[in-house]
Each structure stands twice: as C-alpha cells, then as structure tokens.
Structure 1
Amino acid sequence: MQLSIIRRICLERIMNKMPTAIDLFCGCGGLSLGFQKAGFKIIRAFDNWDKAVAIYNKNFNHKAELKDAYDITPKYLKSFNPDFIIGGPPCQDYSSAGKQDETLGRANLTLRFAELVCAAHTDWFVMENVDRILKSETLPKALKMFKNAGYGLTQVVLDASLCGTPQKRKRFFLIGELGGRDNAIKKIILKDLAAKNMTIRDYLGREFGTDYYYRHPRSYARRGIFSIDEPSPTVRGVNRPIPKTYKIHPGDATKDLSKVRPLTTLERARIQTFPPTFQFEGSKTDLEQIIGNAVPVELAAYVGKHILAYLNTPKSYKEFDMEYIQLELKFD
C-alpha cells in the first residue's frame, strides 16, 4: 500500500543518507567543522560578524553568508531542504564572562533561533550555549516554543574535557527531534564520556614546547598559571601577557615564572581543537574573541557522532518502523 512506500522512504532517508545541516550563528566554524567531522554535510552557514565569516569562508567549501538573524527568513532556510539546523546563539548575556543581563538584547537571539527552527520545521535541530542558560528566563520561553512546534527535546550539559577536548568547558546542548520523545538521545550521549579529564599533553603532547602557561584570571583571587598536565580552563576572548606585578597564587602550577609564558593566539585555537591546517586571519584582538567564542571542534564532533549513532541503532530503527506499522494498521 501507499503508506508502506512512505515508511520505507522515511527509513531509508534516516538510515542511509548523510544528514544535511545549516549552521546559524556559525562564527568561524567550530560547530560546523565538528559536525562535518562526525559525518554531516553542512550546506549553508550564517553569521553577522564579517571577520568571523571571512575566516569561515577560507576553510569550508560551502558558503557562510554575512547576515543578521532577523534578516533570515524561514522560507530561505527551507529552500536548502536541510535535515538539521544547528547553531550557538550568542551567550554573552548568560555567560559568567559577560554581564549576565538578559535585557541587553543578545538573549533574544536564542528566541530568534527558536523562531526560525519552528517556522522552518526541520526534522532536527541542535542548539549550543553556556550552561548558565539553565538559570535564565529566556530558555523556558524557547523550550515552550519548541514543544508547541512538536519537538521532542533532549537537554544535556557536557564537560568538553570528557568529550575529546583538553579544556574544562561546560556547555549546554539542546537537541530537538520533530515528533520525537523527550530525552530520547540523552543516554546515548552520556554513555561514552571519558573516565578522566583530557589534558593538553594528552591531546597535543609537547606541541607547545612548555610545561606551564599563563591564563589571565578574572580576578587575582584566582590562579593564573596552569600546567599542560591538566585540562585548560575555558578559553575566553581575553589573552594577556603576565603582569610584572603578578603575585604567585597558592594554586599556581609552578612558582618559577621563568618557566611560564602566555599561549599564542593559534595555540589557544589548538586547545579549541581546531586542526593546525585551519586558516585564521585578522587582528589579534578579533582573533582572540573569535576563537574564544567558538564551539570546540571535538566537542561538536562528539555530539554529532552520538546523534548519528542514535539514528543508526537498531532500537531507533525499530521504534521508527513501529510507528509506521501502527499507522498502516490504523488505515488498513
């Protein structure tokens, strides 16, 4: 019967096709590169920062468009026929590194992401943000929008250092499946977390040529000297030399400042797990911010791989198949 054909086509689409994705708020491409590495085909990207878009377009075969999120229409997104919309709306209004003030306007871009996804009605979406979004007033509004549009939602906070990245960076991921079950993907994402935090040495060996480095603290009540035998703290958009007045903190990895140096801009990109072949261009100030804003490539790849694993497990195949069998029985 006709419904059997529809069922088979839908199953083949999920099981055999490389999923396509559009990246909103793409920045320089950390999320795109990770999902591409996982097995997705990124077909378009968008951001409104020209410096970040220029870097993106130097490194990918598909195009990133310089466009404000409010100038993107659902109809235009639909024209690419994507399976997924992925993206990391700006987090500064939630971030501990920002002002934590949702009235500044950037929090509204989370709602704009939700509006575009719900109107485009893609089969899936993935939204990334800082874990502090869980305490926001904006997230519940976005969740309500997604639920009203028919998405089953999985919420998870991941420590990047347990997901193939040498950095203690906690990030929130919201994964939506149209017509899916809530938390359907949570178990499969969490089951492969590493048993221990990845260190810089674990990931890069002796690439930096130093055992200790300086990372400018937010206040001098915090330490500023770290070892490559531990995960890096979160890479932020600030990278400064060691102040001449720096006083040794009890938690510093060494008290011998002669063994310590700040990391270079490109070394910080390596901690964000961008490959050495990734091409960066622009001023140091812009690059520090662009790299600090990026989603770590390996963290994105971890999420992407586990979404694909979910799609390709026999269990998900049977559950998806059973829904269509029940529909056939209903219409027989």
Structure 2
Amino acid sequence: MPVNETLSGYSDLAFRTAFGLYVLALLASMIYYAGFRVAKLSERELVGVGVPGSSAAGSPAAGSPAAGFTPAGSTGAELTESTSLTDTGDEDRASAGSLRWARIAQLFVMVAFVFQAAALVLRGIATDRFPWGNMYEFILASTLLAVGAGLVFLRKPALKVAWPFVLVPVLALLFFGGTHLYSEAAPVVPALRSYWLPIHVSIISLGSGIFLIAGVASIMYLLRVWQPQGAEHGYGAGLARPLPHADTLDRLAYRTTVIAFPIFGVGVLLGAVWAESAWGRFWGWDPKETASFVSWVLYAGYLHARATSGWGAKKAAWINLAGFAVLIFNLFFINIVVSGLHSYAGLN
C-alpha cells in the first residue's frame, strides 16, 4: 500500500508542535522549580493543627511544617499515616508563591502529549501499519508513554517539581530521534511484518516509560540525601530545596519499579517467543538481548536491595540508576553502535 504523504506530513507537523510545547513546559516547570518556596504556618495555625513542638511563645520545632518539612494545611495524622502510592506526609507540599507556573507546565505537557500521540497515530494511518517499525517511531512511542507515566505518577503537588527532570531526557531523546534517527514514513522490512511487533514493542515501551519515572525519582532522591531537607546553605542547597522528602522519592522510585519490572520482563519473554518463530531460537545472546538481560538483572538487584534490611535506600538508588543507564543505552543507542539481529533502526 502506498504511503499517504499528506498524513505523513501532518504527523511530522504534530511532532514538531509537541516538541515546541514540551520546551515551553520545561521552561514553565523550571520557573516553578526556581521560585519554589515552602509555605510557612503561623503559630496559631500550628497550635490549631496540633503539631508537636509548637507553642504560642516558642519557635517551631525542627521538622515541623514551619521549618519547611510539611505543607500548609497538613495535620499530624498525615505525618504518620500513608494512604496513597507515594505518601509520606508531604505529598501536598507546594510552593507558596509560584504554583501557577506548575499549572501552566502541566497544561503544556498535556497538550503536547495529545500532539505527540497524534503524530504517532497519523504515521500509523499513513503507512497502514503499527507505527513502531524504526528507531524514530520507537523513541516517539517510548517517550509518549514516559510522559503518560509522569502524568499518572506525578499528580501530587509535591511531585510536580519532578517535571524538569522528566522533560530534559524526553526532549533530548525526541531531538535526537527527530534529527539523527528520523525515517520517512514507509512500510517496514519483512522481518517486522508480524503480529508480535505491536505486542512486544508496546510492552517494552510501556515498561521503559515507567522506568524513566523510577530513574528520575532515584536521581532526585540522591540529590535530596546529598543536601538534607531544610538546609538553607551549602553547595546544592538551591537545587535540592524544592524536592520533597527523601522517603517520598524513595517510595516513588520503588513502587514505579515494582510496576515496571514485571511489564518489562513480560516484554523480554514475548520477544524471546517472537525470536523462536522468526529465527528458530528463543535466545542467542544478540547485543540487544544481552543488554536487556543485564538491565533486567540490575532492576531485580535493585528490588532485592530495596527490600533487604542490610542495604540502605541510597545504595539501592545507585543500582536503580545503573539499570536505567543500561536500559537507555540498550533501547535507544545499541542499534547505532552495534550491529545485530535487532538492527532495524531505519538508519540505512
């Protein structure tokens, strides 16, 4: 079937529009991050919510909301009871002065997400196939799911400061994919004309998108423990101050990894099934297969370390970042630097 050039052109236009909107979202989120300041509670508000260590005549105790550890409007019960995915008591902590920039950034992200999805769908309709047959399309799909994961997991006010950390790698991958890996809309090579293509690639892309949120959470966690919350001075204090409590970030990294790990594992297993039908073997230690196995082992090691009392969360976070680094290299760059059976990047 010939390619619909008109729809292909609209797909490229939607991609460029999404990229521009993501840039605006990054700028707005950086303004929110840079202008972040914790709301302070008055003495009367502190006594009213029953925060220990506060009195009408004394100053707030260390760790109280007035010291910048919890949000305005929080209660003592919120500090001890966890009721949601990443709640450690400061999920509702938000900037006292620049929350509107967080809303603007969120709006830009949502509109850009729609345009990016439109770019992927239009390319699929233009070529009459599932639109992940080359590296450009794979990056488009994976970053779309990463942004979608961000919209799901970063809803709480305290986690909105994570958007600069999410958008920077997303924009870097989109820029690299749109400039160096771009392929004209065309039919896929015969080896990819299989019903396994949308199944395998979709699952791998979903797991990878959620892993990006987990990696970002570990980066922020290491920044937070490097510069303790509440520190007003010292190298890196300005970078770390807007971040939520380290426990919040640790939980976000752990629970998103718990979700992504089985998804990615199923994607690898289904890839092995496809390999058996296409190449006559389930596993052949192809570079991409090997790197997938290494990243899977690292993520398994992270989950084990995170759940083992002998390991601290800080050491586990480094393992999580190692797994994320191998994952990024494997999914996006190994086809460029290494030739193997999975070399369908559309670069030739």
Q: TM-score, normalised by structure 1?
A: 0.24
- Structure with the bigger percentage of strand: 1
Q: TM-score, normalised by structure 2?
A: 0.23
Whose Rg is larger? 2
